[in-house]
């Protein structure tokens, strides 16, 4: 491939993230690794309302800079309540395509222009920027290889899908199929013929033209799906480098008085006795669901930490006061230091929506995952940890589920206190050890990362 001249001879990577936190965080973790381990220069495009989220990243990544872009940010307060689920993608795809010209002009005006474009897989149209600059593009998949493979088949199939039939992913290892409601929401939201949605689909299809693919997963977790992707993309440049969150430069994890109080309470709890509940950075449970969950937590008798990133109104009345009075738990309203909580010795289980980051973080921490997938790729991730690996248990399914709190309480109690849970705990420990080994020097993810940098350096050489 012919590349633009790089005046420094070192790679300069133009990073194009997708704004929601579940996408932004792993891409920043990966960029941080690239820059600090291999002196790669990084420029991150960012929407103005997300700029503050980059401050920890920029402070800990000396060779990185931000390039603010006038893109709308679906998570910004001015859009609250106006954006229907699934339309994030349509909202962003069109403006990104209009910014192609200005990104290319900016790149051409640099003394040390980008030698690679690294974009979130939701923004496959960044391929066109890379084409204009005649540099390679790396697609970053902050989801698992199973989801990546599923999306690849789904976007290439006849759409829309028939809501009355299961989606059969017959090309994938194990030929899995999913009920229509469990298919990633972005595919179900697609509106054929709608110009914005056509751009979204084109963007996903452009991913197969990327020079390379980086997946935030590790070999022992998804080797079959990684091999499948190599076959589908037609080259071996599919690198499994995860879990990237081990890099320890997480945004929003600064010590606060609340966090200090939480960790001092956790320090007084017996080992592995606490159940941590969090459904990611965006999900707000409806009140009936939150009530069932609260009742189950209290009935289970287990110690708990329940984090809701958005809204205190979600927690059932009096729950926090009773939990404190009985020394049974804490609620966190706002951004919880999730990685640190999961790694705390007193935390034994994690009720999760199975967002991919949470799934990997829980797996790496070796806690028992209690799966409650809600939407997006979460049903696929739950299938992987519960059914493929047998390393997690199920609590409930779906955004509308309001499970019986007695039954839920039994699942919660079993997850932290039960015996071996039919081998689940042992399998979770094995997977956790494999995740740790993968990122150690000489491990599968460490080696893939080094191979990727070598190839990137080779194509970036002047």
Contact flag: residue 278 with ligand UDP (CB under 6 A): yes
Q: How far is the CB of 25 from ligand UDP (least distance, A)?
A: 5
Comparing C-alpha atoms, which of 214, 155, 187 is closest to residue 33? 214
Contact flag: residue 306 with ligand UDP (CB under 6 A): no
Instruction: Considering the complex, state which of residue 53 and residue 339 has its C-beta at the smaller distance from ligand UDP.
Output: 339
Contact range with ligand UDP by CB under 6 A, out of 189-197, 202-210, 334-342, 443-451: 334-342
Q: State whether the Cα torsion 325-331-333-336 is positive or negative.
A: positive
What is the 8-class DSSP label of residue 46?
Answer: E
Q: How far is the CB of 121 from ligand UDP (least distance, A)?
A: 13
Which tokens belong to 54? 């980059």
Rounded to whole angstroms, what are the CA distances from 288 to 217, 285, 379, 457?
35, 8, 22, 54
Q: How far is the CB of 140 from ligand UDP (least distance, A)?
A: 14
- Asked if 461 and 235 count as a contact pair (C-beta separation under 8 A), the reply is no
Q: Which of 16, 307, 331, 452 binds ligand UDP (CB under 6 A)?
A: 307
Q: How far is the CB of 241 from ligand UDP (least distance, A)?
A: 16
- b or e along 178-203 (b: 16 or more beta carbons within 10 Å of the residue's beta carbon)? beeebbbbbbbbbbeeeebbbbbbbb
Coil, helix or strand for 410? helix
The position carrying tokens 């493979």 is 149
Which of these is catalytic: 12, 23, 228, 353?
A: 23
Using Cβ positions, the residue closest to ligand UDP within the complex turns out to be 22
Contact flag: residue 358 with ligand UDP (CB under 6 A): yes
Contact flag: residue 392 with ligand UDP (CB under 6 A): no
Residues 234-273, interacting with ligand UDP (CB under 6 A): none
Q: How far is the CB of 322 from ligand UDP (least distance, A)?
A: 22
- How far from chain centre, in Å, is Cα 125? 20
Q: Which of 19, 22, 144, 243 binds ligand UDP (CB under 6 A)?
A: 22
Residues 54-83, interacting with ligand UDP (CB under 6 A): none
Contact flag: residue 280 with ligand UDP (CB under 6 A): yes
How many other C-beta atoms are found inside a 10 Å radius of the C-beta of residue 98? 10
Size of the residue set binding ligand UDP (CB under 6 A): 18
Known catalytic membership, residue 29: no
CA angle 421, 422, 428 (to 5 degrees): 70
Q: How far is the CB of 307 from ligand UDP (least distance, A)?
A: 5
Contact flag: residue 338 with ligand UDP (CB under 6 A): yes
d(CA 365, CA 357): 12
Contact flag: residue 216 with ligand UDP (CB under 6 A): no
Which of these is catalytic: 29, 120, 377, 381?
A: 120
The position carrying tokens 């790149």 is 107
Q: Which of 31, 281, 289, 460 binds ligand UDP (CB under 6 A)?
A: 281
Q: How far is the CB of 9 from ligand UDP (least distance, A)?
A: 35
Contact flag: residue 361 with ligand UDP (CB under 6 A): yes
Contact flag: residue 356 with ligand UDP (CB under 6 A): yes
Contact flag: residue 305 with ligand UDP (CB under 6 A): no
Q: State whether the Cα torsion 307-309-312-315 is positive or negative.
A: negative
Rounded to whole angstroms, what are the CA distances from 133 to 2, 14, 79, 127, 249?
10, 11, 33, 10, 30
Q: Which of 212, 285, 355, 362 binds ligand UDP (CB under 6 A)?
A: 355
Q: Which of 24, 25, 386, 435 binds ligand UDP (CB under 6 A)?
A: 25
Contact flag: residue 29 with ligand UDP (CB under 6 A): no
Q: Which of 169, 339, 392, 393 binds ligand UDP (CB under 6 A)?
A: 339
Q: State whether the Cα torsion 340-44-111-124 is positive or negative.
A: positive
- Helix runs in 271-347, H state only: 287-300, 319-325, 338-342
Comparing C-alpha atoms, which of 28, 41, 16 is closest to residue 251? 28
Known catalytic membership, residue 120: yes
Instruction: Considering the complex, state which of residue 96 and residue 278 has its C-beta at the smaller distance from ligand UDP.
Output: 278
Interacting residues of 186 by C-beta distance below 8 A, sequence separation 6+: 86, 89, 122, 151, 200, 376
- Asked if 381 and 144 count as a contact pair (C-beta separation under 8 A), the reply is yes
Contact range with ligand UDP by CB under 6 A, out of 173-181, 231-239, 279-287, 290-298: 279-287
- Which residues contribute to the site for ligand UDP (CB under 6 A)? 21-22, 25, 278, 280-282, 307, 309, 335-336, 338-339, 355-358, 361
Active site amino acids? 23, 120
């Amino acid at each position: 491939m012919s590349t633009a001249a790089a005046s420094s001879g070192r790679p300069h990577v133009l990073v194009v993230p997708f704004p929601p936190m579940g996408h932004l965080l792993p891409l920043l973790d990966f960029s941080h690794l690239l820059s600090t381990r291999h002196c790669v220069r990084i420029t991150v495009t960012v929407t103005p309302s997300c700029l503050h989220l980059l401050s920890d990243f920029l402070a800990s990544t000396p060779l990185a800079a931000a390039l603010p872009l006038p893109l709308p940010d679906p998570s910004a307060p001015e859009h609250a309540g106006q954006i229907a689920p699934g339309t994030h993608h349509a909202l962003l795809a069109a403006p990104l395509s209009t910014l192609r010209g200005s990104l290319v002009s900016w790149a051409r005006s640099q003394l040390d222009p980008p030698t690679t474009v690294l974009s979130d897989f939701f923004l496959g149209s960044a391929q066109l920027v890379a084409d204009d600059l005649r540099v390679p593009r790396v697609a970053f998949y902050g989801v698992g290889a199973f989801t990546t493979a599923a999306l690849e088949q789904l976007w290439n199939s006849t759409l829309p899908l028939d809501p009355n039939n299961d989606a059969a992913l017959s090309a994938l290892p194990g030929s899995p199929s999913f009920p229509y409601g469990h298919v990633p929401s972005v595919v179900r939201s697609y509106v054929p013929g709608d110009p914005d949605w056509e751009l979204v689909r084109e963007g996903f299809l452009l991913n197969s033209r990327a020079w390379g693919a980086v997946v935030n997963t590790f070999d022992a977790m998804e080797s079959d799906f990684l091999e499948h992707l190599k076959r589908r993309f037609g080259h071996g440049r599919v690198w499994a480098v995860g879990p990237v969150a081990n890099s320890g430069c997480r945004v929003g994890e600064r010590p606060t008085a609340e966090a200090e109080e939480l960790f001092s309470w956790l320090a007084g709890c017996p080992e592995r006795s606490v159940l941590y509940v969090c459904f990611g950075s965006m999900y707000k449970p409806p009140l009936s669901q939150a009530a069932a969950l609260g009742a189950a937590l209290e009935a289970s008798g287990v110690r708990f930490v329940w984090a809701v990133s958005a809204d205190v109104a979600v927690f059932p009345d009096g729950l926090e006061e009773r939990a404190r009075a009985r020394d049974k738990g804490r609620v966190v309203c706002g951004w919880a230091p999730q990685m640190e909580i999961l790694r705390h010795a007193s935390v034994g289980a994690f009720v999760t929506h199975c967002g991919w980051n949470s799934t990997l973080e829980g797996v790496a921490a070796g806690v028992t995952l209690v799966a409650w997938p809600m939407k997006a790729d979460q049903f696929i991730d739950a299938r992987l940890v519960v059914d493929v690996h047998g390393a997690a248990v199920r609590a409930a399914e779906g955004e509308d589920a309001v499970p019986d709190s007695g039954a839920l309480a039994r699942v919660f109690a079993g997850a932290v206190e039960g015996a071996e849970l039919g081998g689940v705990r042992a399998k979770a420990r094995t997977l956790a050890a494999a995740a740790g080994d993968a990122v150690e020097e000489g491990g599968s993810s460490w080696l893939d990362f080094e191979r990727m940098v070598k190839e990137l350096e080779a194509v970036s050489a002047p």
